[in-house]
Structure 1
Amino acid sequence: MKIRVENPKNSKKTMMLCGFVLEDSDKVLGLEKVDAKIISSLKQSIKDMGGMFGKIVFIPSEGKTSRMLLAGLGKKENFTNDTIRFVSGKIAQKARELKLREFSIIVPPSSIVEPISAVSQIVEGCKMSLYKFEKYKSKKENIIPDLTILVSKSEKISKMIKTSDIISDGVLFTKDIANLPPNDCTPTTLANVSKILSKKNRMKCSIISKKELEKKGFGGIVAVGQGSKNEPKLIILEHRMGSRNEKPIVLVGKAVTFDTGGISLKPGEKMDEMKFDKCGGCTVIGIMKAVSELKLPINIVGIIPSVENMPGGESYRPGDIIKLYSGKTAEILNTDAEGRIILSDALSFGEKQYSPKAIIDFATLTGACIIALGTNVAGIISNDEKLTQKIKESSKRTTEEIWELPLNNDYMDMIKSDVADMKNVGIGRAAGTITAAAFLRNAIKDTPWVHIDIAGVAWTQVATKDKPYNPKGATGFGVRLILDYLQNI
């Protein structure tokens, strides 16, 4: 999608002029700056559509445009930071349905919404809503029309359009690799994707393969990955644009390219969705892409432990005791609780190798998180209130919703083992999301750390809220959230 900005008064003819309408309002927001001649002819159409949230209506026009679209924003008092993003997505999808080459959206006046925020939401909503995963289709059907944003030009507006464009591309890149099928996306595939990305975006990329993982003591990653012919990899991406002495922020993402559950085999129903068990790692790769393209003046390290969890003669077993990178031992009671094992190695490595000022991990870790929070809110567990608060603030701005769960010594006690330092599952089904995080907490000494469980939000599921910018498949959840956090440090 090509995006350009035009001053409303100087706007050229467009194939579809799109404007927003508040509920129970009698005018199109900002239209008077574009084409005052057609305002009177719209009154009945505006009254009929009522400005209801998400409702769109076409009307004939005699002004500069061959067609016009009215899009309802609902009541002003119900506005969120997602309102314009959501409605802009519906506009973009209608433009595609009509097979238009381009369309224009009028930015509402500052009395309604801050223009910088509106522009950001319009770009993100339009770009993300036009996404389709068509890599394996013989006939490509997706049509991407260009977008013109009608707003008074300024350096801040231009910068925000560029920033939002890059962030949206980061989300779409994340979706592209997360949607790859398991036969076409192994740990080696993710490693190769990262290598190509690093060369293009001037990041350092290191890949640690199985023999070196064994030699360096990554007992968790090796154990989980040893049942598959597709060898495990530890992928490391480094963006170094901060000062030389500045400690980095480390991002860690679980990337199980396919999860059968191993010896503790999952039920067959919906096992195909386990291609999405790599979404945490894909999120980190997408963030690193955007960070490098935004040229953020900070130091960021992305660490992606990647395995395929398969049953077989070489698989690790319930009853095994493995030694993790931290030096601690773990009793394996369920091989389907594998994400915490590979993340544990990666977290310990990240802390020891980089002495970071903060660690944030992403993982499709527990079905228990879906039971607790559903499929529209991610779980967050932390050892640091200040770091948690900053990410909560980013959550409010981006509307990628999170909810904090507790982690105290009682939960830590639930994963103590009689025969090892800890066990990889808690007591029964109680507090499954928290006991998984407790296992991860054991991997970290004293670095501020946040764990984000994205099991319910990483891809669209039965109860996922219908949003135009989240078409079926991977959602890219977490990319916008953490990029906002990083930009506001």
Structure 2
Amino acid sequence: MIKFTLAALTMLASSMAHALPNIQFSKLDLTQNKRLIIFVDNANSLSGLAAQVNTKTNGQLQGAIESAGFKSGFGKTQTFYGLAPFAQITVIGTGSNALTQAQLQDLGGYAAASTPDNGKAQYAVITDALNTQVSTPSAWVAMGAGLRDYHFDKYKAQAKQSSPRNFVLHSSNVAAATKKYSDDLKYMVQGVHLTRDMASEPGKSIYPQSFVDRVKDAFDDIDNVDIKVMKVREMKKRNMGAILGVGLGSIHEPRMLVINYRGGNKKDAPITLVGKGITFDTGGISLKKNSGMWQMKSDLSGAAAVAGTMLAVASRGENVNVVGVMPLAENMPAEDAIRPGDVLTTMQGTTIEIISTDAEGRLLLADAVRYAQDEFKPRMLVNIATLTGSAARALSDEYAAMVTRDWSLAQNMMQVGETSGEAVWPLPLHPNFFKQIKSDIADIKNSGAGNPGASIGAAVVATFVDKDVPWVHLDIAGVDWLNQPIAVAPKGSQGWGVRFLDQLVRQNSN
């Protein structure tokens, strides 16, 4: 009976929560398109195709904008009805500055948010006159619309489930925009949706093996990809006592999912991405409070972001070698669970005293980053995790915390964040932090070292990263799950990290 139930849950988890929106690119047909979305700058001026729309309404559109006192600051939105011959026209402000790649995505998100949560009606989005130096801007707008058009409602009654939205984008270069979106940016949307799906699923549906099954299904028929699943037996052979220790309290055995995408030259060292995958985090013996524990289903978001990034990169065939390493475990209290005061021996041989079983993510990363270095000799190592509440308290939901040993690399990561639309801010890694994690009975301890918590967590991970390896630690605890929507995402899982990591890969491809 148990086997049947778990199999059924795995099948349930493997279905997509929400299909991608229907997006087309074409020339504007004012006789067919009756629901329009138009972008206007801070002067409320209408140019290009928008000017044609105004002419078609006998100037009523411009008059309505002025009469309403519309303020066209970036993202400001207002919808007008009854401007014949159109059923409705929505105007969205773009501000006065040249639009960046991230801002174009935001505009697409605002466009999607201005429409109903179903695809019964088609909306025409006019993008030909946007003030930007970004090539194929309408494709980036389409990506933003695709990111915002996400709903995790698969468990609701069918009548309450949303249908994908329906957009046709009108640009100055239809062919180029179509190619850019269809051959590239669409896969980014898919990667983010996969990440959000994984983080939104109930913990009973997503556990280490079902995570593996779901991700493997997503990579069907994608070229140049090797997938390895490491089970308990091999972890024991490699002495991965940290990962194994975290998983002791769960009926679900831990796993290590490794996706090796070989898109570059065979001799080129890969970029390696390591994501924390705690499929549900009770805190273990150091049990969390009930308030908000439900959200710990998303403690796998780092691993999910790595999976989503790998899907986007491999699907578009990026000319680069990238490896994704996802250590997976469920942190539960049970008679076999590790206790505070226990000592675990890692793959590296370094021993860790457990001060809190709720500081478990860094234990997964300890073995995973060691494995990633030994196995793949990466030219850059990036780990990503919902690691500490301290990161959220320090930086709120505006920035992910970023730690690295190299200030020039930190500056580069901030630029990656600005370009991608997923901002990061550096936190220090002072030598004293390593003194704070020294243990009286083991080599190091996993917690209990006081402030600053986010940097202490990074110091634990850094203990297992060779100093000559370019390394970036991302703590996404504050940005991963939001209680209010943003331009490119509804409330809930943001799928944070896919856009950042994808941009990092783009800038380091061949």
Report whether the alignment pairs 1:21 with 2:43: no
CA distance in 2, matches of 1:281, 1:14: 42
- Structure 2 CA distance for partners of 1:399 and 1:99, relative to 1, 3 Å: closer
- Structure 2 CA distance for partners of 1:97 and 1:281, relative to 1, 3 Å: closer
Report whether the alignment pairs 1:417 with 2:436: no
Shift of 1:28: 5.8
Shift of 1:138: 2.3
Q: Secondary structure at the match of 1:226?
A: helix
1:348 match:
370
Unpaired segments ≥5 residues, structure 1: none
Shift of 1:408: 2.4
Bigger Cα displacement from structure 2, 330-339 vs 37-46: 37-46
Report whether the alignment pairs 1:161 with 2:181: yes
1:291 to 309, 313, 324: 313
Q: Look up the equivalent residue of 2:112 and give its one-letter code.
A: A
Bigger Cα displacement from structure 2, 408-417 vs 277-286: 408-417
**What are the equivalent positions in structure 2 for 1:58-457 lying under 5 Å apart?**
58-63=80-85, 65-73=86-94, 75-77=95-97, 81-97=101-117, 100-109=120-129, 112-114=131-133, 116=135, 118-139=137-158, 140-153=160-173, 156-162=176-182, 163-202=184-223, 203-428=225-450, 430-445=451-466, 446-457=468-479
Shift of 1:254: 0.3
CA distance in 2, matches of 1:467, 1:479: 16
- Structure 2 CA distance for partners of 1:13 and 1:35, relative to 1, 3 Å: farther
CA distance in 1, matches of 2:54, 2:232: 64
CA distance in 1, matches of 2:219, 2:103: 35
2:15 match:
none
Calculate the TM-score normalised by the size of structure 2: 0.89
Shift of 1:30: 4.3
CA distance in 1, matches of 2:165, 2:355: 52
- Structure 2 CA distance for partners of 1:34 and 1:7, relative to 1, 3 Å: farther
Q: Look up the equivalent residue of 2:496 and give its one-letter code.
A: F
Calculate the TM-score normalised by the size of structure 1: 0.93
Unpaired segments ≥5 residues, structure 2: 1-20
- Structure 2 CA distance for partners of 1:380 and 1:115, relative to 1, 3 Å: closer
Contact persistence 1:104–1:150 (CA under 8 A): yes
Bigger Cα displacement from structure 2, 320-329 vs 346-355: 320-329
Bigger Cα displacement from structure 2, 112-121 vs 368-377: 112-121
Shift of 1:191: 1.2
- Structure 2 CA distance for partners of 1:200 and 1:134, relative to 1, 3 Å: farther
CA distance in 2, matches of 1:270, 1:82: 31
- Structure 2 CA distance for partners of 1:97 and 1:315, relative to 1, 3 Å: closer
Q: Look up the equivalent residue of 2:311 and give its one-letter code.
A: K
Q: Secondary structure at the match of 2:465?
A: coil
Q: Secondary structure at the match of 1:96?
A: coil
Q: Secondary structure at the match of 2:221?
A: helix
Q: Secondary structure at the match of 1:182?
A: coil
CA distance in 2, matches of 1:226, 1:330: 16
Shift of 1:66: 3.8
Bigger Cα displacement from structure 2, 182-191 vs 159-168: 159-168
Q: Look up the equivalent residue of 1:107 and give its one-letter code.
A: T
Bigger Cα displacement from structure 2, 388-397 vs 280-289: 388-397
Shift of 1:390: 3.1
CA distance in 2, matches of 1:194, 1:342: 19
Aligned length: 481
Contact persistence 1:194–1:205 (CA under 8 A): no
CA distance in 2, matches of 1:371, 1:183: 29
- Structure 2 CA distance for partners of 1:12 and 1:216, relative to 1, 3 Å: farther
